[in-house]
Amino acid sequence: MPELAVSPALLVIEGTEALGNAGVADARRQALRIWAELQGISPGESFLSSGGVADPQQAALYRDAIRRRAAGEPLPYVTGTAGFRHLTLRIDRRALIPRPETEGLVELLLQRVRRGSVADVGTGSGCIALSLAQEGEFASILALDCSAEALALARLNHHLAGAPPTVHFVRGDLATAVGPGLLDALISNPPYLTLSEYACLDSSVRDWEPAPALAAGVDGMEHTTRLVREGWERVRPGGWMALELDCSRAKAAATLAAGDGWQNVSLHLDLFGRERYLLAQRSDTR
């Protein structure tokens, strides 16, 4: 039996009720956003087009998306999109959902270097590499990741961003695929949670986002330590390293960098006043 015709307005009411019953905060806002994203319009435009009859196929897709969100799937995965600086990215479970904090990491690096060669280590969705291509004047941007699935998503976003020719995708283990002294900058938002911290994450993160992008060994420093040491070999003297950190281990990371041949080591606060970013300049000798 065919489904009864329904208007977009009634669909959003239905979605709001389903999300509210599932305990989702801002149920109406999220129900409206899901409808707007599926239609490729803004939430404001969806208000203006709420009359008439919804396409049955679109109605079915919307109801499926509402079911997914009600089951706890993060909103960006449900809508398939995430904003990052000036970009609108495709996003799914192949990569970590870009966070506003990481936008600050890009800004800090651009304040120090905008040209030459840069590597985005652990590119995930490609959000950092593509932002650097859009906002900087880099001759070469290496987007590195050990996950073939994440790189496939990053390549899709590269295509959607107009395929900037300076961005090159490489599969590799952290920075090991980069030759010595080739970079003017290295930037990374690496995994930085301890195994116990990962186990205690809210289920909305732990059950959906890729664990390899979040957990970094028993002490949470496994990837940061490697990047500090591998980065020194791959960044030219005078070049920069920019890392996102867990605030509880920021000072330990700064001490590590200062003792491993980096100079002008500094910690910077995120939007919430937490020590979130490490900036360091490569010295001539260790």
The residue extents of the domains of the chain are 8-72, 94-282
Q: Please write the tens of the pLDDT for every residue from 153-187.
A: 999 999 999 999 999 999 999 999 999 999 999 99
Phi, psi angle pair for 80, to nearest 5°: 80, 10
For domain 94-282, the CATH architecture is: 3-Layer(aba) Sandwich (3.40)
**Residue 77 in this model has a pLDDT that exceeds 80:** yes
pLDDT band at 87 (very low <50, low <70, confident <90, very high): very high
**Residue 91 in this model has a pLDDT that exceeds 90:** yes
Question: Which residue, chain included where needed, has tokens 């990481």?
Answer: 102
| Amino acid 8: pLDDT | 84
User: ∠ CA(160), CA(165), CA(171), 5° rounding?
Assistant: 80
Is the distance from CB of 276 to CB of 263 less than 8 angstroms? no
Rounded mean pLDDT, 218-237: 96
Rounded mean pLDDT, 250-277: 96
Tokens of 236: 């030219």
The model's pTM: 0.91
| Amino acid 23: pLDDT | 93
- The rounded distance, in Å, linking the Cα atoms of 177 and 49 is 50
Q: Please write the tens of the pLDDT for every residue from 95-106.
A: 999 999 999 999
Rounded mean pLDDT, 243-262: 96
